[in-house]
Chains A and B, each alone.
Chain A
Amino acid sequence: MCPFMQFTEGGRKYQCGFCHCINDVPPFFFQHLDHIGRRTDHYERPELSLGSYEYVATLDYCRNNKPPNSPAYIFMIDVSYSNIKSGLVKLICNELKTVLDKLPREEQEETSAIRVGFVTYNKVLHFFNVKSNLAQPQMMVVSDVGEVFVPLLDGFLVNFQESRSVVNNLLDQIPEMFADTNESETVFAPVIQAGMEALKAAECAGKLFIFHSSLPTAEAPGKLKNRDDKKLINTDKEKILFQPQMNIYESLARDCVAHGCCVDLFLFPNQYVDVASMGLVTMYTGGTLYKYNNFQVHSDGPQFLGDLRKDLEKRTGFDAIMRVRTSTGFRPTDFFGAIYMNNTTDVEMAAVDCDKAITVEFKHDDKLNEDSGALIQCAVLYTSISGQRRLRVHNIGLNCSSQLADLYKSCETDALINFFAKSAFKAILSQPLKTIREILVSQTARMLACYRKNCASPSAVSQLILPDAMKVLPVYINCLLKSCVLVGRPEIPTDERAYHRQLVMSMDVADTQLFFYPQLLPIHTIDVKSDAFPTAVRCSEERLSEGGVFFLANGLNMMLWLGVSAPPELIQGIFNVPSFAHISTEITLLPEVDNPYSKKLRSIMDYIQSNRPYSMKLLIAKQREQAEMLFRQYLVEDKGLYGGASYVDFLCCVHKEICQLLS
């Protein structure tokens, strides 16, 4: 039932907007129609008047026809040597003590229904019994990693409020317990397996938070070897680097999805860890992947904790399944995102949170009717954080037009770039890089050529004409082509490429836009008195000036660029140091200085940060210093560091192609 249904025969029948089938209105749903053929309760029923609404699902929609249990979060901490030494384990444990109080809950409820469990691991797994009536937590070691199992049920997943003292006791002891460990080998697949088995045994959906640091080389299923091979770059075999090393991760992912087990992976690598293999389960289960290279508690700690807090507090739906329905004439053909698909119609997600987006590609399979338009319904069945099974329905009706000009007018470039990025990143798994790049360029050219041919013919052939709604398309496509995933250069770590690829796959439109075209804000010109947000400038070196200070953010990183002759009062204001030379490039947080410059800048940063799913780490880049190279990478309109074309060059190239197409 949705607003697209047409009621007829005095309200006794209705016609489905999607398939045009005429159905009887069931007696309990019957309502008289008013003079314009609308039901009299039209505005009382959300499903008749609103585009998006949510049902509480009946038992038929639940697993095994039983109401679901409330979900559980399991924290699985790698306690091998490197994590202990870096102080990470201690950091996590301390943070958990406070952050567990902020688990998401339903508005009307006092406490969160989410249960928590704890596992530590290196070569073996340690489960903890934190039942509230125990004086001390109990540790259970499972060394059979070949066939991992859950050693306990009762006492493993607990309500944090009830077991607070035992859990805190445990979190205090974990760093001490492993303080003098010298175990450096870890397992990985068995960890996920164990978490999944635990959720399975507890008959609930949930999320695993895995904090992992190294390539899992211990003898166990899912053992990985270092297979990073720069020689494969720019060959037909490059795709192998983005595929998992072995099938076990894929089957594990399938099992996880089947049992509603989402995996959030926090990686702290010091070297190659094969993100393509390790991140696969995260990708398929709707989890989030975080990566902190060469993690240092003092510099990367805040970023990581920010991510952890955000992730924990996120509103999340578990054990979700999504289906997209359309009216006749077109149909969904492809889905992109952190999802798993068993068949061609059902999108399965072990969990889906507020930052995950799914891109759907539709194709015509018939003529669309200009009168009725195109209707799309997207229904997501999921388990809420309190363990309620719900069905969320989104409806949208789109106009159809036979005029290409209208079509080009209604185009949204941000969405286009999201689609192009995801489809290109997906294609990496099967096609060589070169082909993908060529396809991207030629598609851009064809789109523009088509416009040129059909909508803007009067102008001269040599003139480049861009449709109004698409004028930024070439610059975005150029940015996409310059993204490290699509640039095959040995200087770029394979893990970094795999990581970016995975991030983009689940991004929404706003995130991809920012990711590919960073926001560059001039700081030296801001008016500290007004509340206005500074106007972003184009990401090009031309815009920078020696006397300026610029702030840049792309959703993953923040940078503050300082011109050599930046105004001293600004520097004093922001950094509380007398001159440019005194500024430390080591800092990752701005000092809290009580003056308008500092406040303004920090409020801008907070604002940008608050709308982003990932915490961004601040880097200070001084002009003419090493760090500036990094900053330049983000000036996407310029010639790229790794050989990407500048915007102007790319535009020329596209123009040439268009001309070729037209002639």
Chain B
Amino acid sequence: MATFLEFIQQNEDRDGVRFSWNVWPSSRLEATRMVVPVASLFTPLKERPDLPPIQYEPVLCSRTTCRAVLNPLCQVDYRAKLWACNFCYQRNQFPPTYAGISEMNQPAELLPQFSSIEYVVQRGPQMPLIFLYVVDTCMEDEDLQALKESMQMSLSLLPPTALVGLITFGRMVQVHELGCEGISKSYVFRGTKDLSAKQLQVIDKKTIKKTSNPENDSYHVCSASRPCQPVEQEFLQPVQKIDMNLTDLLGELQRDPWPVPQGKRPLRSSGVALSIAVGLLECTFPNTGAHILMFIGGPGTQGPGMVVGDELKLPIRSWHDIEKDNANYVKKATKHFEALANRAATNGHVIDIYACALDQTGLLEMKCCPNYTGGYMVMGDSFNTSLFKQTFQRVFTKDMQGQFKMGFGGTLEIKTSREIKISGAIGPCVSLNSKGPCVSENEIGTGGTCQWKICGLNPNTTLALYFEVVNQHNAPIPQGGRGAIQFVTQYQHSSGQRRIRVTTVARNWADAQTQIQNIAASFDQEAAAILMARLAVYRAETEEGPDVLRWLDRQLIRLFMFHLRRSPFLQVFNNSPDESSYYRHHFMRQDLTQSLIMIQPILYAYSFNGPPEPVLLDSSSILPDRILLMDTFFQILIYHGETIAQWRKSGYQDMPEYENFRHLLQAPIDDAQEILHSRFPMPRYIDTEHGGSQARFLLSKVNPSQTHNNMYAWGQESGAPILTDDVSLQVFMDHLKKLAVSSAA
């Protein structure tokens, strides 16, 4: 048998699943003793170009409480044309279309290599993709211009049938009518007054003809009683039809015309704008894949969802204010956006937020919008930076078939064997409140359900799923028994088709008393670290900060947890509330590899002493004759050691005789470019050197093994001291050991 490491790797590649334990303790009691729960990281849309799309619908177990999908783990009686569900043991008749099956002629879903399989549902109409742009106009002309260009660019990437809409806001909110000739027309709403979806519907009844039946073609409603007539969808129009019109409209888009008095912030109605966007989609295209792309250049300053007043002399809330309960607007605004996020999520609409400003923009309050709906959150300094431009471009990345790498309106359903139940999920999803026999009473994260809605999915979207072993100690599982879990993901593919991806996995049970080494060997350290980290971040989001650190300290995991403690995911010191929200947002959705980078940045060293090598994330790695490349997921940093920097300054790289130095300088840049090309969101690229101000990014990440406190390192050419009061890993470990021993005693 292959090693567990290979097994884990193979499983991840095939199914997008990584479990903390790959052999499960067979009773509840033992499972709780393991501290780290049985849990998995699951990437529903793991890129599998080799998967054949199955052009029929899955066969379901006939028991109404089960409805599991036929899978390779099912027992099949080919002669009787029967199959036994491996979750509820119900015996099911094959449908008539399966009449021809035999041992030799098996359908794909029964083959072991198709433990993950994708069905394409033929039923139902092809839904157009919908992109609703919600644009802040309270920004500098340069920024607005850059944003306009980015939006134009994105329009050119959309499929011609995609529906687009435009809402702009400043002091007022304008919903633009598209495709009208001559005079451009827009509906204006007051930025201080929230409209319920119902009001919006009533007000715009004559313009938004509600598609009475979502099964119908969305912009041509035909019904038997009425002759077919085109419904004027004035706000959402197919790109191909209004391309020119929208281009003109964007061209004439001006900065918010209301004067901003000195000492005031511009009045920005972010809350109402988003509310109208959500309402608009809600009453026109419920349960259809839609993206609300919200671009904001500053914090909302009026109406519901305002995060700061318009007086410049009152700064936007900091963590300090929040802890002191001094942030007046946070709770109200959060409530507003939470309600919107829930509405959008219910309808399967995604909210993306692109916030570009030097100051905070209220991501803390708005975070739930992308978090609940699986939308993107991008934070930058200005729309006129390559960071934003390229990140935004990457949103519209296409796969080999020219389809967007995104899925819409997904639902994830999980079925489990009897011995194990689902505690909950942590990731960009909302609960569908579907109670079932496999739902555990102990909630972790978003729990109490076996179905979640993931409105926006991309190939990296990863959920952490927590399980609970419920088998009682006195009811042993027979030797060789396996526990199975089935993940059923339904989503709208960007081609408009509905697809169902089914992943069925099984793991062995083991008695912890007799086979403890088996279980221990099956421990997936990386997965466990990320799973625990997610749990910690989830708690940090919902509970008070220091308590989470203490909770984490009580858990016992090496190394990663040291960095996690120091990471912005848990520490709010030195980060604004917006930044924290941003970092956490991304941590909660990326897959394992990326998450690992986020917790423990990767550090590569380039020198004349040999090929590039990964080095310890430690201050001792910072040497004068090295170039370091650090990848923290959000930043890519190239650090030139003292000597290298001097050489570079002297211009050695330009001399032909020092060509090898030029190569050395170029190597990390090439590697960085490679990372830059694939990552979403685009990381901040930093090129710095010894003593450079930007070097602080590196110095704040490395393990401070040498600080100004332990001066013994001085004089030895072994690294760079870090000026910090944080404890080093060594101290942390010592402390941890002591704690472990004393608590065991």
- Report, as a range, how many residues of chain A touch the other chain: 20 to 34
Residue contact A147 to B193, C-beta cutoff 8 Å: yes
With a CB–CB cut-off of 8 A, which chain B residues contact A144? 189-190, 193, 195, 203
A147 to B172 alpha-carbon distance, docked (Å)? 14
A124 to B257 alpha-carbon distance, docked (Å)? 22
Q: How distant is A429 from chain B, measured CB to nearest CB, in Å?
A: 37
- A143-B203, A143-B204, A144-B203 are contacts. A154–B185 as well, Cβ < 8 Å? no
With a CB–CB cut-off of 8 A, which chain A residues contact B182? 136, 173, 176-177
Query: For the complex, is B518 an interface residue (Cβ under 8 Å from A)?
Result: no
Query: For the complex, is A134 an interface residue (Cβ under 8 Å from B)?
Result: yes
Inter-chain contact total with CB atoms closer than 8 Å:
65
Residue contact A127 to B188, C-beta cutoff 8 Å: yes
Query: For the complex, is B431 an interface residue (Cβ under 8 Å from A)?
Result: no
Query: For the complex, is A152 an interface residue (Cβ under 8 Å from B)?
Result: yes
Interface of B is mostly: mixed
With a CB–CB cut-off of 8 A, which chain A residues contact B174? 140, 151
Closest Cβ neighbor of A152 among chain B residues: B257
A620 to B42 alpha-carbon distance, docked (Å)? 91
Q: How distant is A135 from chain B, measured CB to nearest CB, in Å?
A: 7
Closest Cβ neighbor of A145 among chain B residues: B203
Closest Cβ neighbor of B257 among chain A residues: A154
Query: For the complex, is B400 an interface residue (Cβ under 8 Å from A)?
Result: no
Within 8 A of B (CB), among A135-159: 135-144, 147, 149, 151-155
With a CB–CB cut-off of 8 A, which chain A residues contact B195? 144
> Interface size (B, Cβ < 8 Å)?
20
A496 to B174 alpha-carbon distance, docked (Å)? 42
Select one of A140, A155, A176, A183 contacting B188, CB under 8 A: A140
A138 to B206 alpha-carbon distance, docked (Å)? 20
Query: For the complex, is B258 an interface residue (Cβ under 8 Å from A)?
Result: yes
Query: For the complex, is B252 an interface residue (Cβ under 8 Å from A)?
Result: yes
Residue contact A141 to B187, C-beta cutoff 8 Å: yes
Select one of B190, B193, B204, B252 contacting A138, CB under 8 A: B252
Q: How distant is A371 from chain B, measured CB to nearest CB, in Å?
A: 60
Closest Cβ neighbor of A177 among chain B residues: B183
Select one of B186, B188, B190, B259 contacting A153, CB under 8 A: B259
With a CB–CB cut-off of 8 A, which chain B residues contact A139? 183-186
A176 to B185 alpha-carbon distance, docked (Å)? 14
Closest Cβ neighbor of A135 among chain B residues: B252
Q: How distant is A334 from chain B, measured CB to nearest CB, in Å?
A: 42
Q: How distant is B214 from chain A, measured CB to nearest CB, in Å?
A: 25
A138 to B182 alpha-carbon distance, docked (Å)? 9
With a CB–CB cut-off of 8 A, which chain A residues contact B193? 144, 147
Query: For the complex, is A170 an interface residue (Cβ under 8 Å from B)?
Result: yes
With a CB–CB cut-off of 8 A, which chain A residues contact B206? 183
Residue contact A134 to B252, C-beta cutoff 8 Å: yes
Residue contact B183 to A137, C-beta cutoff 8 Å: yes
With a CB–CB cut-off of 8 A, which chain B residues contact A135? 252
With a CB–CB cut-off of 8 A, which chain A residues contact B184? 136, 138-139
With a CB–CB cut-off of 8 A, which chain B residues contact A137? 183
Residue contact A138 to B183, C-beta cutoff 8 Å: yes
With a CB–CB cut-off of 8 A, which chain B residues contact A152? 172, 188, 257
With a CB–CB cut-off of 8 A, which chain A residues contact B172? 149, 151-152
Against B, the Cβ 8 Å flags (1 = close, 0 = not) of A103-146 are: 00000000000000000000010111000001111111111100
Against B, the Cβ 8 Å flags (1 = close, 0 = not) of A457-473 are: 00000000000000000
A144 to B723 alpha-carbon distance, docked (Å)? 59
A127 to B185 alpha-carbon distance, docked (Å)? 10
With a CB–CB cut-off of 8 A, which chain B residues contact A127? 188
Residue contact A138 to B257, C-beta cutoff 8 Å: no
Within 8 A of A (CB), among B190-239: 190, 193, 195, 203-204, 206
Closest Cβ neighbor of B175 among chain A residues: A141
A154 to B257 alpha-carbon distance, docked (Å)? 6
A149 to B187 alpha-carbon distance, docked (Å)? 12
Select one of B186, B190, B204, B252 contacting A140, CB under 8 A: B186
Residue contact B257 to A155, C-beta cutoff 8 Å: yes
A134 to B172 alpha-carbon distance, docked (Å)? 20
A141 to B186 alpha-carbon distance, docked (Å)? 6
A137 to B186 alpha-carbon distance, docked (Å)? 11
With a CB–CB cut-off of 8 A, which chain B residues contact A143? 187, 189, 203-204
With a CB–CB cut-off of 8 A, which chain A residues contact B252? 134-136, 138
Within 8 A of A (CB), among B401-453: none
A137 to B259 alpha-carbon distance, docked (Å)? 21
Can you give 8 contacting A-B residue pairs, CB < 8 Å?
A136-B182, A140-B185, A141-B185, A142-B188, A143-B204, A153-B258, A154-B257, A173-B182
Q: Which 5 A-B pairs rank lowest in CB-CB distance, beginning with the nearest?
A: A151-B188, A154-B257, A139-B185, A143-B203, A141-B187
Query: 17 more A-B contacts (CB under 8 A) besides A138-B185, A139-B186?
Result: A124-B203, A134-B252, A135-B252, A138-B183, A139-B183, A140-B187, A140-B188, A141-B187, A143-B187, A143-B204, A144-B195, A147-B190, A154-B259, A170-B183, A173-B182, A177-B183, A183-B206
